[in-house]
Amino acid sequence: MPIGTLGFPFVMGKASSFALGISLAQPSVKFFLLDGDGSVLMNLGSLITIADKAPRNLYHFVMENGVYATTGGQDIPGRGNTSIEKMGKAAGYAHTYHFSDLESFSNSIGNVLQQEGPVLICTDVVPDNMTPEEHVPAPKVPEVGLVPPPDTRKLILDNLRREFGLIN
C-alpha cells in the first residue's frame, strides 16, 4: 500500500476530521495523521466518527505533552486524569497503543504499522517550546477497570434521539 504525505495547516482539532475524509477517499494509500493531545480534546467526536467509518489505512499518531504548546504551554483539561488511548479504544478504534518511551516505540512501531486501521498511537513527548528540565510530565492515569457498555454507539444514539424528542 503506498504512503500518503500531505502537509496542511489546520485550526486546532480539525486535522483528524480531514484525515478521515482523505483516508476514505483514497483507501489504497496509507495515511499518517500527526496530532496533538490538545487538538484531539478540541474534537473528541472525531474519535467516534473515525472508529465508525473504520478506515483501514489511517494511522492516528497523538503526541501527548499535556499542554497547548502552540499557545504558550497552558495545561490541557484533564491533564493526568484522562487517557486518549483509552478513549480511542472505547470509541472503537481497531487498535490503540500508548508509548511512554522511545525504546518501546522503536521496538513496536514496525508491527503496529502492519495492522489494519484505524490505529491510534499515543506517544509521550516534551513540548517543543520547553526544555526537558522545564517540562513536568502529567501524572499517569490510574487503571480503574472501567469498561464501556458493549454497544456504546447505540447507547449514545438512543440518548441523543431521546434528547431531541425522536423517541421516548
Q: What is the pLDDT of residues 99-147, one digit of tens each?
A: 988 888 888 989 999 999 899 999 988 776 665 566 555 555 555 555 5
Q: What is the pTM of this model?
A: 0.72
Question: Which residue, among 113, 122, 120, 112, has the nearest Cα to 93 in the 3D structure?
Answer: 120
CATH class of 3-163: alpha beta
For 110, phi and psi rounded to 5 degrees? -60, -45
